[in-house]
């Protein structure tokens, strides 16, 4: 029998299968690109201000990875378990501020302070999560919002001078390793952000595919049915709550190193709303959607600010210049456009393109 050539009908499924197998390796290709970024001199005009390996570009890429990881951890609640929390910023701020305070007040080295900060955030999440999960639905959302608001007020009141109030507090350079201080060591901070991203993706992937993760899926679809099966949803939801909080607290420690200090903006409910926008923008309940949404949101938040202050916008008539000079307006317009044009998030775009092509072929063959 003659083997199918490229012109035979049997060759098309073979090529499609080969493409699908190759597509499975794209995360490894992206990871390889991220690993080589600090050594690259490639310029990406419009995307980055300088070469890929410059300090400014690495700083922005590191922030994109941190917030992409934060959105991925937050989706453990929203997309995987069906819990809409408005207080996720509290755990990020707990890891951020606790680590900074342990270094400043107790004169502890970074690693010890970070471990204690993580332990503090996890303990706080266990206590407050146990209370919050006593109610469901919108009641749960409101309780988490109340706790987050209390934490934000506490940070701004600056009890005992610990938080610095509205000014925040800088990370003590003398308690940090020399390899993490200064613009010349931005690449080292980039490696830490990349490590945090890989850790978060690995933990979330493991958790979602574990037996507990399958129970989370059942809770999201129908919590009453899970109860009928003899399982207690409360315990499983608490595990998701604490795990997401722990990942956010680690993100707070990484952000402390990137930003060089702790600021009260990290403890506000607006921070949680930003995470919610990231998840919806990328695609809630998907493997890569929250990461994609976090990266796009963070990049747009920084780059649209430059566009709003550019000469091109300043030369426009007032009716256009005023709204376009507001970065939040531009960011909101982009978000509305993506949600309207891509229901299910930006991660669905490749599937929609494939469906459109299949529909076009089917229509053409029918005709």
Rg (CA), the chain: 23
Distance of alpha carbon 88 from its chain centroid, rounded?
Answer: 12
Q: What token pair was written down for 304?
A: 């649209």
- 51-366 is classed CATH 1.10.3470: yes
Length of the chain, please?
367
Whether 5 has a pLDDT exceeding 90, the answer reads: no
- The per-residue pLDDT for 1 is 47
Mean pLDDT, residues 87-111: 95
> Model confidence over 139-178: pLDDT tens digits?
999 999 999 999 999 999 999 999 999 889 999 988 899 9
Domain residue ranges in the chain = 51-366
* pTM reported for the whole predicted model: 0.88
Query: Which residue is associated with the tokens 């099966």?
Result: 229
Q: What token pair was written down for 157?
A: 């009141």
Lowest mean pLDDT among 235-244, 297-306, 312-321: 312-321
Whether 359 has a pLDDT exceeding 80, the answer reads: no
* CA dihedral sign of residues 324, 325, 326, 330: positive
Mean pLDDT, residues 78-104: 95
Provide DSSP, 266-297: GGSHHHHHHHHHHHHHH-TTSSSHHHHHHHHH
Position 270 confidence tier, pLDDT thresholds 50, 70, 90: confident
DSSP code of residue 35: H
Position 11 confidence tier, pLDDT thresholds 50, 70, 90: low
Position 118 confidence tier, pLDDT thresholds 50, 70, 90: very high
> Rounded to whole angstroms, how far apart are CA atoms 263 and 270?
13
Whether 22 has a pLDDT exceeding 80, the answer reads: no
- The per-residue pLDDT for 218 is 94
Whether 317 has a pLDDT exceeding 80, the answer reads: no
Task: Identify whether the C-beta of residue 263 lies closer than 8 Å to the C-beta of residue 168.
Answer: yes
- The per-residue pLDDT for 318 is 73
Whether 251 has a pLDDT exceeding 80, the answer reads: yes
DSSP code of residue 51: B
Lowest mean pLDDT among 6-10, 129-133, 245-249: 6-10
> Rounded to whole angstroms, how far apart are CA atoms 72 and 204?
8
> Residue 208 phi/psi, 5° resolution?
-65, -35
- Closest residue by Cα to residue 67 from 273, 268, 286, 293: 293
Q: How far is CA 10 from CA 3, 5, 7, 241, in A?
A: 9, 8, 8, 50
> Residue 162 phi/psi, 5° resolution?
-80, -35
- The per-residue pLDDT for 87 is 93
- The per-residue pLDDT for 29 is 85
Whether 107 has a pLDDT exceeding 80, the answer reads: yes
102: Cα within 13 Å, side-chain hemisphere: 22
Which helix or strand (DSSP H or E) is residue 266 part of? none
- The per-residue pLDDT for 75 is 96
> Residue 261 phi/psi, 5° resolution?
175, 180
Mean pLDDT over each residue of the chain, to the nearest integer: 87
Lowest mean pLDDT among 54-58, 82-86, 239-243, 343-347: 343-347
Task: Identify whether the C-beta of residue 245 lies closer than 8 Å to the C-beta of residue 258.
Answer: no
């Amino acid at each position: 029998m003659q083997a199918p050539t490229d012109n035979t009908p049997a060759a098309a499924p073979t090529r499609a299968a080969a493409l699908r197998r190759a597509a499975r390796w794209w995360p490894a290709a992206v990871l390889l690109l991220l690993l080589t970024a600090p050594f690259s001199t490639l310029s990406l005009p419009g995307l980055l201000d300088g070469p890929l390996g410059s300090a400014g570009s690495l700083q922005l890429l590191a922030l994109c990875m941190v917030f992409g990881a934060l959105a991925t951890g937050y989706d453990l609640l929203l997309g995987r378990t069906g819990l809409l929390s408005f207080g996720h910023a509290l755990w990020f701020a707990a890891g951020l501020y606790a680590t900074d305070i342990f270094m400043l007040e107790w004169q502890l080295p970074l690693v010890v302070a970070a471990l204690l900060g993580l332990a503090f955030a996890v303990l706080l999440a266990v206590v407050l999560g146990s209370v919050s999960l006593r109610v469901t639905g919108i009641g749960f959302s409101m309780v988490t919002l109340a706790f987050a608001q209390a934490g934000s007020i506490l940070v701004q009141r600056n009890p005992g001078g610990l938080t610095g109030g509205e000014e925040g507090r800088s990370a003590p350079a003398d308690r940090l390793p020399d390899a993490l201080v200064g613009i010349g060591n931005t690449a080292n901070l980039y490696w830490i952000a990349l490590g945090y991203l890989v850790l978060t993706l690995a933990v979330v992937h493991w958790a979602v595919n574990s037996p507990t993760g399958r129970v989370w899926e059942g809770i999201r679809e129908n919590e009453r049915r899970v109860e009928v099966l003899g399982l207690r949803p409360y315990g499983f939801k608490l595990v998701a709550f604490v795990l997401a909080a722990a990942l956010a607290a680690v993100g707070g420690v990484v952000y402390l190193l990137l930003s060089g200090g702790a600021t009260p903006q990290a403890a506000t409910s607006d921070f949680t709303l930003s995470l919610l926008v990231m998840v919806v923008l990328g695609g809630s309940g998907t493997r890569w959607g929250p990461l994609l949404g976090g990266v796009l949101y963070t990049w747009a938040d920084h780059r649209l600010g430059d566009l709003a202050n550019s000469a091109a916008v300043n030369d426009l008539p007032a009716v256009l210049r005023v709204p376009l000079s507001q970065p939040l307006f531009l960011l909101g317009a982009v978000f509305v456009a993506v949600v309207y044009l891509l229901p299910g998030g930006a991660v669905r775009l490749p599937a929609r393109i494939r469906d459109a092509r299949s529909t076009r072929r089917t229509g053409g063959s029918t005709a």
